[in-house]
A and B are shown apart, each in its own frame.
Chain A
Amino acid sequence: MIQAILVFNNHGKPRLVRFYQHFPEEIQQQIVRETFHLVLKRDDNICNFLEGGSLIGGSDYKLIYRHYATLYFVFCVDSSESELGILDLIQVFVETLDKCFENVCELDLIFHMDKVHYILQEVVMGGMVLETNMNEIVAQIEAQNRLEKSEVRQVL
């Protein structure tokens, strides 16, 4: 099960924070900070798996992260997930973002935080992997966007 998905930039500012298990607000922020510090120490050619920090559940949990340009994508998972599989999942997620936003960059994530959440919801649901086929995901998102646009037109 995936416990949390965090995206933050090289300075630790959160861009996407999604927990699939309940933590109180202050703990959430602490976890983001702690994860950032853990991940920042890693060189780029070192393996992408880390023991989870103390706050996020201890020895059974691992942090699996990938570094893309200015952003870190960190998935906190327990032992029931395949580590290499999660790495591929991060790649799928990022490629989907790329398709939805046309050459996605950090600014897209900043200004469209809600849309990023909606996309994520099509990939991971309730801490479990939902769909890994990019085309499906993109098709769904586009359908939803069309629905939203039609409503806006109705109001106007």
Chain B
Amino acid sequence: MVAPSLKLQDLIEEIRGAKTQAQEREVIQKECAHIRASFREGDPLHRHRQLAKLLYVHMLGYPAHFGQMECLKLIASPRFTDKRVGYLGAMLLLDERQDAHLLITNSIKNDLSQGIQPVQGLALCTLSTMGSAEMCQDLATEVEKLLLQPSPYVRKKAILTAVHIIRKVPELSNIFLPSCAQLLHERHHGVLLGTITLITELCERSPAALRHFRKVVPQLVQKLRTLVTTGYSTEHSISGVSDPFLQVQILRLLRILGRNHEESSEAMNDLLAQVATNTDTSRNAGSAVLFETVLTIMDIPSAAGLRVSSPMPLPLASPTLIRYVALMSLLRLVQSDHNAVQRHRPTVVDCLQETDASLSRRALELSLALVNSSNVRAMTRELQAFLESCPPDLRADCASGILLAAERFAPTKRWHMDTILHVLTTAGTYVRDDAVANLTQLIAGAQELHAYSVRRLYSALAEDISQQPLVQVAAWCIGEYGDLLLEGNCEDIEPLQVEEEEVLALLERVLQSHMSLPATRGYALTALMKLSTRLRGDNNRIRQVVSIYGSCLDVELQQRAVEYNALFRKYDHMRDTLAFHPLRAAILEKMPLVERGGPQVDEEAKESKAAAKLSEAAPVPAEPQASKLLDLLDLLDGPSEDAQHPPPLDPSPGGALVQLLDLPYAPPPPAPIPSLKVFEREGVQLNLSFIRPPGTPALLLITVTVTNSSGGDVTHFICQAAVPKSFQLQLQAPTGDTVPAQGGLPITQLFRILNPNKTPLRLKLRLTYNHFGQPVQEIFEVNNLPVETWQ
């Protein structure tokens, strides 16, 4: 025999009496053990009490799955007390994922048909909460029968259950459609509410239903009118508005029915105007109705006059809740009716000042959506002021929003630059990664701004070296245009006398600062190097710094420093000549404008760009790749020779070009050079197709296609290429490294070859791959290259 069990209240008392978490756990575990024992014994009298206790501890977070079968037993019991707890347990503990849930289908069926209202109510409630698709299919007809029962209590529950059924099994919508028309004649508000919800669900799911229900628009209009015009009735009114819930639902349905349909919207126009003007918005309920009305007016093709007179401005002046909903609605409207929302711009901008985080976030979104070419200056000012004071989680959005808006609507390049600069100084750490690239792009493209930008950036940098994007851009700029900085004169800004030593000192500070990211250090080092050609003074200081970094722990910086050192070392014997050595100057000369997202085309400047790009892309070990190419190049004894390129630099086109693999693939334009099959071995074939883009005569694009008609897969496929020294070669990333057998998807890879001197093209290829489980390596020169490829 089970000891007399605790009542629910007593258990709760005990749990509350526990002083610590551990004590509580102990009490609960002891009780759960009792409950389990009681379930095993199968005591029918107290089962409901045990389950109630179990549900309580479940709410506190303790496991309760062993009560699932007990729910079933309780539901099957004839007593209402048992059923109540049983159904509640089913709703809280069971769900579609457990097979046990199907077992209550039968009980629900029985309960639905036996006519005791509270029981029917319980069954419907459970079905609508956790009913799975299978259950809904089994029980749909039962529910449909209940739709037209005399009791409104059961009916309203059946209607909402029908909505749930339709959501789970859309095909069953047809069962419930016919009853809707009759249900609309109801007077009981609960039933009406459910019916409107049901019709809304049907219309949202099927255009046919939508057309069908357009017929009832007049009826709905009538109902709404009755609601609005009847006087104060205690039953359903909230703050003086009759049944605002029903009104809102009807308005929403009208919106769906009237959308893109002239006739229906005609029918509702007057009513909407009436509701809009008559509703008392001093309380929440009225405002809810009003907002729904306004949204409906905006959404349907109604008379223009109605829209213009929409009472939107008023709510924005009232308390925060209303402001919030107003902002939400404006956000929804800004997509469809931009101009209407523009009228409220001043108020929206005021909302930016709100201390309430939800409000300011909405206001920010809306303000960004409202920026256009005519108000961009004013809006940007407001947004920048906001950026300075806004909470951190909004900063990133605000910063990127301002930058985007500036990009789209900037009236002048200088304004654009100023804006970006301001954003970088205020919220530098929150900007997106490509902001740096965008800004350098912008500056490089605006020749007239070079002096101005380098000065502004220098001053900004001198003040604060902690904001990384700003530091990166400033370092790059100082490196590129250092000579302009030192000249001292610029019309737009006060003359700033800067000494060479100051500039160098600043860059060194950046290099040494612990706040600088490795990428930033890379920028600073390269900038220092570039200054060695731009500054007139002695380069000793720069050389010193560069050689220190030759033993830096960061591999990236070390490699660069070593390369730069080589530049200094090797050509120093030429320093006696008046000019700087052409190579170093050429490598470090000003970069040409890069097409955004496009691959590099120009010659020597590519190397300095590649060196700069090394800072942006993740450091990829360039050494092994470079040395392989070096071997290949030695195999080729190219006919024309330039001055001997120093070894560390020569592979850098290849090495750095590995980084350029990040560049997006640009599909080559079509041109009719015959393609060439260059390699075949055991079913693996390599084809080359050639394109000479008309705009760039020195450029040749080769697409390498690898196909596999054999029975074995080709894996780990790598293709490397070498060309004579007068050529420039770029390899883009292949589409993959595997070609499945029997004509599987081929690999393609794009080569770009620059041939400025129009020397005859020679191409050597090295392939490594695995085929039939064996590694294969092939090195060969491509013969029979068509003349059009290089002439």
Binding site for B on A (CB under 8 A): 14, 16-18, 20, 22, 25, 29, 45-51, 82-85, 87-89, 91-92, 110-111, 113-114, 117-118, 121, 125-133, 135-136, 140, 143-144, 147-148, 151-152, 155
Contact = CB atoms under 8 A, between A and B. Distances in A.
Contacts of A29: 61
B358 A144 contact: no
Given A85-B288, A117-B88, A130 B156 contact: yes
B541 interface: no
Given A117-B88, A152-B81, A125 B160 contact: yes
Nearest to A16: B59
B160 A88 contact: no
A151 to B, nearest CB: 5
B650 interface: no
Interface stretch (B238-246, B405-413, B467-475, B689-697): B238-246
Contacts of B731: none
A46 B356 CA distance: 6
Interface of B: 8-9, 12, 16, 45, 52, 55-56, 58-61, 63, 79-81, 84-85, 88, 92, 95-97, 117-118, 121, 124-125, 128-130, 153, 156-157, 160-161, 163-164, 189-190, 193-194, 197, 235-236, 238, 243-245, 248, 252, 284-285, 287-288, 291-292, 320-321, 323-325, 328, 355-359, 361
B98 to A, nearest CB: 10
B201 to A, nearest CB: 9
9 contacts: A25-B58, A82-B291, A83-B324, A88-B245, A125-B125, A130-B193, A132-B193, A143-B117, A148-B84
B320 A45 contact: yes
B391 to A, nearest CB: 11
A126 B129 contact: yes
Given A47-B320, A84-B291, A128-B160, A133 B85 contact: no
B358 A49 contact: yes
B325 A84 contact: yes
Contacts of A114: 8, 52, 55-56, 84-85, 88
B407 to A, nearest CB: 25
Contact of A87 (B12, B81, B321, B359): B321
A30 B84 CA distance: 28
Chain B interface mostly: helix
Given A48-B321, A83-B324, 14 more contacts: A25-B58, A45-B320, A46-B320, A46-B357, A46-B358, A84-B285, A113-B55, A113-B59, A118-B88, A125-B124, A125-B157, A126-B161, A129-B197, A155-B45
A126 B164 contact: yes
A85 B245 contact: yes
Contacts of B63: 25
Contacts of A130: 156-157, 160, 190, 193-194
Name which of A49, A113, A118, A126 has the most chain B CB atoms within 10 A of its CB. A126
A118 B84 contact: yes
Contacts of B244: 85, 88
Given A22-B96, A114-B55, A129 B325 contact: no
Given A14-B59, A110-B16, A126-B129, A82 B358 contact: no
Contact of A111 (B9, B118, B163): B9
B245 A136 contact: no
Which 7 A-B residue pairings sit nearest by Cβ, starting from the closest?
A: A126-B128, A84-B288, A47-B320, A22-B95, A46-B356, A47-B324, A131-B190
B292 to A, nearest CB: 6
A130 B761 CA distance: 80
Contacts of B124: 125
A125 B158 CA distance: 10
A114 B91 CA distance: 12
A151 B118 CA distance: 14
Contacts of B95: 22
> Which one of A18, A47, A147 has the greatest number of beta carbons of chain B within 10 Å?
A47
Contacts of A91: 238
Contacts of A132: 189-190, 193, 236, 238, 243, 245
A121 B125 contact: yes
B236 A84 contact: no
Given A46-B358, A47-B323, A128-B160, A147 B80 contact: yes
Nearest to B161: A126
A101 B291 CA distance: 34
